Every structure is written in structure tokens, then in C-alpha cells.
Amino acid sequence: MTTRTQNTMWGGRFAAGPDAIMEAINASIGFDRRLYAQDIAGSRAHAAMLAATGIITDKDAEAIREGLLTVLSEIEAGDFPFSTELEDIHMNVEARLKELIGEPAGRLHTARSRNDQVATDFKLWVREQIDAAVEGLTALIRALLAQAEAGADWVMPGFTHLQVAQPVTWGHHMMAYVEMFGRDIGRFRDARARMNECPLGAAALAGTSFPIDREMTARALGFDRPAANSLDAVADRDFALEFLSAASICAMHLSRLAEELVIWSSAQFRFVTLSDRFSTGSSIMPQKKNPDAAELIRAKIGRILGATVGLFAVMKGLPLAYSKDMQEDKEQVFDAADNLMLALAAMEGMVRDMTANREALREAAATGFSTATDLADWLVRELNLPFREAHHVTGRLVAMAEARGCDLPDLSLDDMKSVHPGITNAVFDVLGVENSVASRTSYGGTAPQNVRAQIARWKEKLE
């Protein structure tokens, strides 16, 4: 096993560098290199502030600025030699900056620490992911709105316990997911507003004796304000936990929709046809068209929720302020963000491409005595029966229809009168599935006019 004789980045405290095992467990450059753009942006803002406050000269600040731009271009071109010996993205950038501009590079780290630096980098990255998630959700909502508008009055079965319950409209079902994903947007935006405080300037944990201008760096990096407590600023990972929590709820919503697409596209339901772009075949069964994209989306909640639980476990017992445990905060957040964006993009494509089978939807809506509640409601309105008695009468009629192998509208008026003599021919006006959905005009109900009003509201909201 070899050891390095010195580590110039750690300075004079250590006579010898870490051995290979320590280097391997300590290094984070394998994953935190993803923060390069945020790290360089934070360093540029910090250098500009140091010059503006007279802590470093304008000449040194200009050299730092130009050098950082060179480092940025090298990384983006794939020409940057990342080194595990330099541990992390911060040290890699600073070491290359020193090679490029010499002594001024050593002044960049004045009045800051890797603790506030990484907290700032990570916040900037998570903030960008939140913006990307909102954009992806907006695209998905637009695809759902297009489906809802096309089928605002198409009748389909509504389910409880996956049993036919009452007729609803295709548009109404699509709009249910619009509401779900709209709440996801709200959660991401709430998290973004709460996290938008800048840690830079908190230094290691106690602030700094240099006359820095934290308001200046916060503004330069798009934050609303500096973080108010230096201990909290470097110890906080709530922003990552909130992002993961919102991502987990969003992934759960995606999983529910994916499950419906899997069911609906089956030969037994035939409610939708998924496009070939989001389906696969079988290696042995030539007739198969598998909804693999939906199934994979359905599974993403596992790893995204796992990341959430993992970060909670890392943070739960940490005393203030920074501990090396917090290096374990990034990989799971990176993975969750990548998979959320992939799932959102795939779901948006599937929803936009899928074709609903109007006839199969209507046929299914007319089964399972789906208008039984309409019959009970009619008995209450027209015959002034207490609802419990109307429920009992309707139940007897359902049993009669079931015994005869028919649906409620197929019973004759005499059949119905045999159960309750007050029933008139007018009852048949409420037993059709189209009549059923059209009658559900209460706010939030499934009536086509309601669906169209909600579509218009959401279109205006998205504008």
C-alpha cells in the first residue's frame, strides 16, 4: 500500500498524505464534479465581492475571473483532468486555477470555507433541478389538458376499489391528474422560495472577520437574501430534503398514472392504445406490446423515495455544524433528480401520444350498474324518499337486474313498479350514462361543462 508524502491542499498540519483507502473514502470528485458550474459561479461572485470590499485587489480579482472562465471552458470541453487526490470539485478547480494564474488563485479562498462553498454550490444545483421539475410538470399538464379537451364529454367508468362505481368523463379523469401535478408544482415552488437564502460568507461555521458583503454575493447568485445564521447555513440540508420530499410525492403521482396506463392498455380493458415509441415487444411472443415505459415509471418511486429516506438517515443525528457525513448528501439527490426528470419526460410523451378508445370507454361505463346512484337520487328527488330507503329500493332493483343478466335500463317499468309503485317512466331519463355525467354539475363534478371550465382555468393559469 502506498502513501503520499504530503497534501499541499491541506497545508502544514499533516506531515503525510492519506493512504489509498482513506483517499478512496474521502474523495467526492467522482460525483460532485457535477457541481462544477455552480462552484465556478459561486467563486466568481465571491471574488468580485472580495474586490468590491477591498479585501483583494481588482487586478487579482480579474485574474481569478479570467482563470475561472478558462477552467469552465476546459470542463465543458471535456479537457479537464479531475483528480481524486484533490478530493472534491472545489480543490480541483482551485488547483487548476493556481496552475493558470499563479499566486492570485490563493487569494480566492479568503473569507470562505469549503463548508459554505459546498452548501452554496449544492443549493444552486438543487434550485436548478426544481426549476427543471416545474418545467417538466408544466409540459405534462399541457399534455393532460389536450387529452381532457379532446374527451371532455367521453363517458367512461369511474372506479372505487377498482370496481365500477359511477360514470365519469375521460376529461374529468385526465383533469384529476392535472390537479395532482399542479400541487406538485406548488410544492416545488414553495421549497424553492424557502431555500433561496445564500450560505456563502458563513465560512466554516462562525462567519468571518473580513468586511465581506454577503448581500452582494447573494444578489449575484440569484438568492433573495443571505442565510441569517452561520451555523445553520453550513449545517442545513433541509433544501435537499424538501426537494426529495416533493420529488417523492411527484413520483408517487406518476406511479399512480403509470399503473392506470398499464391497466388501461391491457387486452381486458382496451381503454387506451399506447404509441410504439413507448412500448416494447416480447422476445418470444410476437403478439405482445408491453407498456414498459409506464412500468419503469411506476418503479421510479422506489429509488426516489429511497433517496429521501437515505438523506433523512444521514442527517438525523448530526450535531452542528458541518460533519463529513454530509458528503453523503449528493449522490442520492443527483440520482433522484435524474430519475424524476426521466420519468416526467417519458410520462409526458406517453400521455401526448396515447389514443383513448371512446367506444370501449363507453361500453365499460354502462356495465356494473354504474347508474344505480342516479336511480337512488331520482327516488329521493321525485318521490321524496329518505335516501336510506331509496338506497334499499335501488339495491333490490340491482339484485333483480343481476338475476336476469341485464342492466338497470333494461328492466321494464312494471319490473320497477313491482319494487316501488311510485316509480314512473321518467326514471329512464337518468339511467343513461350520458345523462348521468351531464347531471353531475356540482363544483368539481364530472359534467362536461365543468370539465371544459376547468380546462380553461388551467390554460389561463399556465399562461
Mean pLDDT value of segment 25-53: 92
| Strand, helix or coil for residue 158 | strand
The per-residue pLDDT for 26 is: 74
Question: pTM for this structure?
Answer: 0.88
CA dist 246 and 188 (Å) reads 6
CA dist 89 and 99 (Å) reads 16
**DSSP percent split of the chain into helix, strand, coil, nearest 5:** 65, 5, 30
Examine the pLDDT at 14 and tell me if it is beyond 60: no
CA dist 43 and 68 (Å) reads 8
Q: What percent of the chain has pLDDT over 90?
A: 70
Instruction: Give the pLDDT band (50/70/90) at residue 430.
Output: confident
Contact between 233 and 73 under an 8 Å Cβ cutoff? The reply is no
Range in 88-92, 110-114, 355-359, 458-462 the model is least confident about: 88-92
What lies within 8 Å, CB to CB, of 285 at 6+ separation is none
Radius of gyration of the chain (CA): 31
Nearest to 324 by CA among 33, 125, 118, 127: 118
What lies within 8 Å, CB to CB, of 384 at 6+ separation is none
Give the cell for residue 326: 454530509
HSE toward the beta carbon, residue 345, CA cutoff 13 A: 8
The per-residue pLDDT for 239 is: 98
| Tens-digit pLDDT profile for residues 184-193 | 999 999 999 9
Sign of CA dihedral 4, 122, 63, 65: positive
The residues assigned a catalytic role are 161, 282
Nearest to 188 by CA among 235, 148, 138: 138
Q: Calculate the average pLDDT of the chain.
A: 91
The per-residue pLDDT for 286 is: 46
Instruction: Give the pLDDT band (50/70/90) at residue 428.
Output: confident
CA dist 151 and 171 (Å) reads 5
| Tens-digit pLDDT profile for residues 308-353 | 999 999 999 999 988 988 888 999 999 999 999 999 999 999 999 9
Q: Residue 155 pairs with which residues in a beta bridge?
A: 169
